């Protein structure tokens, strides 16, 4: 196991609602990256947080936002949910912002109805 945890494991929401997903990074890691994986696709980079600051963002709209806390845990917030937001949301923790060594959590499966 990687020591990266995510909550909740599953979530069902309706269109227009807002959701918050949580990630606890591996001990000693200061960086959390978030990825969205739609069914049948590879994970797509949403953004990364390094020492509580956003450090890099993929091609996702502003309704996807995040936070990182002093203990390096992180939240992903999605506002105005759309059906296409249904996916597995993965967080990955790492030591350093530009490292290729990232440890993935088990993911949160979000279904938007």
Partner 1 sequence: RKEVEQDPGPFNVPEGATVAFNCTYSNSASQSFFWYRQDCRKEPKLLMSVYSSGNEDGRFTAQLNRASQYISLLIRDSKLSDSATYLCVVHREGYSTLTFGKGTMLLVSP
Burial of 70-89, coded b for 16+ CB within 10 Å and e otherwise, reads: eebbbbbebeebeeebbbbb
From 25, 29, 50, 66, residue interacting with partner 1 (rule: CB under 8 A): 50
**Position 48 contacts partner 1 (CB under 8 A):** yes
8 A C-beta contact, residue 26 and residue 103: yes
Q: Which is nearer to partner 1, 2 or 20 (CB)?
A: 2
From 24, 33, 68, 93, residue interacting with partner 1 (rule: CB under 8 A): 33
Q: Which is nearer to partner 1, 24 or 31 (CB)?
A: 31
Partnered with residue 14 across adjacent β-strands are none
**Distance between CA atoms of residues 77 and 91, nearest Å:** 13
Interacting residues toward partner 1 by CB under 8 A: 31, 33, 35, 40-45, 48, 50, 55-56, 58, 88, 90, 92, 97-98, 100, 102, 104-107, 109
């Amino acid at each position: 196991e990687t020591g990266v945890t995510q909550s909740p494991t599953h979530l069902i929401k309706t269109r227009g609602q807002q959701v918050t997903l949580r990630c606890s990074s591996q001990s000693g890691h200061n960086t959390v990256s978030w990825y969205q994986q739609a069914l049948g696709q590879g994970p797509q980079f949403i953004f990364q947080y390094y020492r509580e600051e956003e450090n890099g963002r993929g091609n996702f709209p502003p309704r996807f936002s995040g936070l990182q806390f002093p203990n390096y845990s992180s939240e992903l917030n999605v506002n105005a949910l759309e059906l296409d937001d249904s996916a597995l949301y993965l967080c990955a923790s790492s030591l350093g912002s530009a490292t290729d060594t990232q440890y993935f959590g088990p993911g949160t499966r979000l279904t938007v109805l």
